[in-house]
Structure 1
C-alpha cells in the first residue's frame, strides 16, 4: 500500500476511516490492519481501535480499565519508544487491548484457582487447613481432606477463604463448593446458609508474597492488605454433601488474581456446643482457555 499505491486511510478523512474500520469484529483483523503499512498502523494506534473493539466484544472489561492501563495488570511484550508520553501510552494500549481481546475467547477452563492464600480461621493445623480444599481426592495421608473454621457461639459469625487465581486476569463464570459431612454426632453437614464471592487484588504488589503460605491455626485477617473490585450477591447453600454450583449472573472479570469465598450463617452445632463451617472442595470455573499475562503466579 506504500509507494505509488493508493492508501484509503490517507485518501479518506479520519472520521470516515474510523467508521469503516470500527465495523471489524475480530481482534485478529485489527492486528492485520495495523500490519498493512506504517500509516495504517499509526492510524489504528491513534484511533484506539483495539480498545474500542475489546470493550465492544467484552463490555465487562470496562470495569477494569484503570487496573489495565494504570496498574499494568497486562504488560505488552515490547513497545517501541519515541520519547512522547502520549504516543507511548497509545502504543501500549494498542498492544494491551489487542492481547486482551484475543485472549478472551469463549471457552471454559475447569478450575482457575492456583493456590490457597488464607482462611479467616482454622481450627486445627495442618489437619484442617485451607490448602486441603484444593485436593482432588477426599482423603490425604489416610485422613479426610477438608478445612474447618474455629467454633463460634454466635451462628452469624462469617468466615472467608481466600485463593490466588492462575492469572492476574480471568473471567469467572461459576464457583463450586462442596460442604463436608462429619462422620459422627448424627453425621451433620457443616454447610453455610449462604455464600458470597469477591474478586480483587493485593493493595501492595510487593507484599503479595507475605500473604501466601500462612495456614496456621487461629484467626487471621487480610482485609487491610487487599482491594475488592467485585462482590457478588448472596447465594443460598443446600445442606447436602455434594458439589454445589453457584453460577454468576454474568462472567466476572477478576483483575488482580484474588478470589474470596465468604460463608454466611452457621447451621451445624458440634458436641462442644459451637457452630462450625467445614468445606471439602472449592473450585472456580474460568471462561478463558489459553489467555495469559506476564503477571503469572
Structure 2
C-alpha cells in the first residue's frame, strides 16, 4: 500500500531506495499494478523510465531502437520527434515512453501462439547440386515431393569440422522469435538410409548492412552476401546439440528474441555422416521452420510501426507510435 501508519512509503524510502526496490519488478503486470497504487507512485515510475528498464531487461534488443517518433497524421507517414524542451512536454513524452515499453513488455511475455514466419531464402554457404539440392527445398516439410527427394545438401568435405549455414528472411522486419525447428535429411535412396545431420546448431538474428532487392535473393544471385561481415547480428544463440534422427527437432531459444531486420542465419556445426560413394562428410537438411510472431497490427490504425529503412546505413531502427490507435 502507499501509506503505512500515515506515511507515504515512497517518500519514506527516498528515491534511491525506492529505485532499488522497483528494479526488482520482473513482470510488466507488476509494473502496471505499481503505477495504479497512487499518483505519486505513477509519477515516480514514469519519470524514472522503469518501463524501459524492464523491457530492456526482458529483451536487450530493444536498445537498437535509436529513437521514438509520434505519428501525427492519419496516413501514418508524418512523424515528429518527442520534444523535451519543456516540463509539460517532457512529462507527456515520458508517459508515451511508458506506454510503448509497457506494451512491448506485454508482448514479450505473452503466451499467444506463434507461427512459421520465413518469407524467402537468402542463401546457403554451399550447395552440392544446384538447384536440385538448394536451400529452397527446406521450405517443404516433407522429405519427398511427387516421389522426388526434397532437401538441401552441402558440398562434401574431408574435414568433419567445416561448418555450413542457411540464411533466411522473415515475413516482417520485426518479429518476436521463440524457436527454430530443423529436420535433418534421411537419404532413403542410399544403402542403410543414413541421416546427414550436424553435431550442433546455432542461430544468429539481425539485419543486413545494405538493403538488397528481394528479387535478387529470390533468384539466388546474392549467395556471396551470406558472410557475417554483411550483417549486424543483434542476437547470437548458444549452441544446441542436434540429434542424428529423421525428425523435426525444436530448438527453443532461452527467451523470446526481438529480431529487428528480420534475418535469421542457421549455423550447422560439425559433420557426423560420410557418404559411401566419395568418402566425404555432408550435411543435409530436409526442413527449417522459424517460429515467431509479428507486432500486432490493425490495418486502419496500427499502434506501433517500426521503420528500418535507415538501419542498414547505421541510422538505427525508428519506433513510431500512433496515439490515435
Q: TM-score, normalised by structure 2?
A: 0.66
2:279 matched to which residue of 1? 273
In structure 1, distance between residues paired with 2:130 and 2:234: 31
- TM superposition shift of 1:180: 0.6
In structure 1, distance between residues paired with 2:223 and 2:168: 18
2:311 matched to which residue of 1? none
In structure 1, distance between residues paired with 2:98 and 2:281: 53
Of Structure 1 and Structure 2, the greater strand share is in 2
Q: Tell me whether 1:242 sits opposite 2:247 in the alignment.
A: yes
1:167–1:295 contact (8 Å) kept in structure 2:
no
Deviations 1:268-289 (CA, angstroms, capped at 9, x unpaired): 2221232211100111222x57
Give the SS at the match of 1:275.
strand
Q: Which runs of 5+ in 2 are unaligned?
A: 1-10, 37-41, 73-78, 298-303, 309-325
Deviations 1:252-277 (CA, angstroms, capped at 9, x unpaired): 33333221111111122221232211
In structure 2, distance between residues paired with 1:296 and 1:122: 34
1:158–1:264 contact (8 Å) kept in structure 2:
yes
Q: In the alignment, which of 85, 98, 105 is matched to residue 101 of structure 1?
A: 105
- What is the correspondence of 1:65-76 to structure 2 with a 5 Å cutoff? 65-68=62-65, 70=66
Pick which of 46-55 and 86-95 moved more: 86-95
2:58 matched to which residue of 1? 60
Deviations 1:220-239 (CA, angstroms, capped at 9, x unpaired): 63322101122222222111
Q: TM-score, normalised by structure 1?
A: 0.71
Give the SS at the match of 1:121.
coil
Q: In the alignment, which of 290, 294, 297 is matched to residue 305 of structure 2?
A: 294
In structure 1, distance between residues paired with 2:190 and 2:141: 26
Q: Which runs of 5+ in 1 are unaligned?
A: 1-11, 34-40
Deviations 1:10-56 (CA, angstroms, capped at 9, x unpaired): xx9xx88xx7xx799549969x98xxxxxxx999865535424534x
Change (3 A) 1:101 1:140: same
Q: What is the CA RMSD across the aligned residues, in angstroms? A: 4.3
Give the SS at the match of 2:61.
helix
Q: In the alignment, which of 187, 204, 207 is matched to residue 201 of structure 1?
A: 207
